[in-house]
């Protein structure tokens, strides 16, 4: 029954899961660029099958996935899809990544979900702004494999991911070498068709 409910929810958003029956880190990717979404999805897929990806193209849709949207009918179910970490672009039209971050961190049921920002540009002010309200990290685009691998360090899996049942320690080289924030230049909010 849980699988059927999961299947129904996943039909509404892009989702690429890994092996059935193995709990992995569930990542919500938020980016208005279809190119970047595709690339990030592939990077996550290539990272040793550790991630299950749900990708949306706006902050508003991310809010729906998390159960924060006013569109949700009836009693809201927060984080129904059990998102373990959110990877969001900073510069998006209408609802920016910062707006999304703020909304999540202001919500009691969701504020524990780690949020990692992505940006193509450096802006120290913006980085510190995001860090100031709880962003875990700021990653410069274009992303590399090592960037997505370090998402594992932020997410706490719901259950062990190893099929054999033995505990896996995170290799030291996957720990973020540089947790310094990168900046993102401010972009005017523009409605994009």
Partner 1 sequence: MLPLCSRVLLSHPFSPMSLMALREQLNMLVNSMYIEGLLDQQFQQLQMLQDASSPGFVAEVINLFCEDAERILTELTKDQAVVDFQKVDAYVHQLKGSSSSVGAQNVKLACIQFRQFCEENNKDGCLNALNVVKHHYYLLRNKFDTMLQLEQRIQAYDSKQQN
Q: In what order do the strands lie in the sheet with 85-89?
A: 14-16, 51-56, 25-30, 85-89, 115-119, 137-140
Q: Determine if 141 is a binding residue for partner 1 (CB under 8 A).
A: yes
Between CA 153 and CA 38 the distance in angstroms is 23
Letters for 27-46 (x = contact with partner 1 by CB under 8 A, - = none) are -----xxxxx-xx--xx-xx
φ/ψ (deg, to 5) at 44: -65, -40
Residue 48 makes contact with partner 1 by CB under 8 A: no
Q: State the residue for tokens 């998102």.
A: 83
Determine, following the binding rule CB under 8 A, whether residue 142 of this chain makes contact with partner 1.
Answer: yes
Nearer to partner 1 by C-beta: 9 or 45?
45
- The torsion angles phi and psi of 4, rounded to 5 degrees, stand at -65, -40
Q: Please say which residue, 66 or 117, places its beta carbon nearer to partner 1.
A: 117
Separation of alpha carbons 125 and 129, rounded Å = 6
CB of 48 to partner 1, least distance (A): 14
Which of 120, 122, 131, 134 binds partner 1 (CB under 8 A)? It is: 120
Contact positions vs partner 1 (CB under 8 A): 32-36, 38-39, 42-43, 45-46, 91, 93, 120, 141-142, 144, 185, 187-190, 192-193
């Amino acid at each position: 029954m849980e699988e059927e409910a999961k299947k129904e929810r996943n039909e509404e958003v892009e989702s690429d899961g890994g092996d059935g029956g193995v709990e992995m880190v569930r990542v919500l990717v938020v980016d208005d660029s279809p190119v970047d979404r595709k690339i990030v999805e592939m990077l996550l897929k290539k990272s040793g099958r550790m991630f299950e990806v749900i990708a949306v193209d706006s902050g508003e849709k991310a809010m729906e996935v998390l159960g924060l949207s006013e569109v949700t009918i009836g009693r809201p179910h927060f984080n129904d899809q059990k998102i373990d970490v959110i990877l969001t672009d900073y510069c998006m039209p209408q609802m920016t990544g910062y707006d999304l971050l703020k909304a999540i961190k202001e919500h009691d049921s969701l504020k524990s979900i780690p949020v990692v920002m992505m940006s193509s540009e450096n802006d120290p002010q913006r980085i510190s702004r995001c860090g100031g309200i709880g962003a875990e990290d700021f990653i410069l685009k274009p992303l590399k494999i090592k960037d997505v691998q370090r998402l594992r360090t932020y997410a706490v899996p719901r259950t062990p991911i190893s099929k054999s049942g033995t505990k896996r320690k995170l290799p030291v080289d996957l720990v973020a070498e540089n947790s310094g924030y990168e900046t993102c230049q401010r972009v005017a909010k523009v409605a994009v068709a």
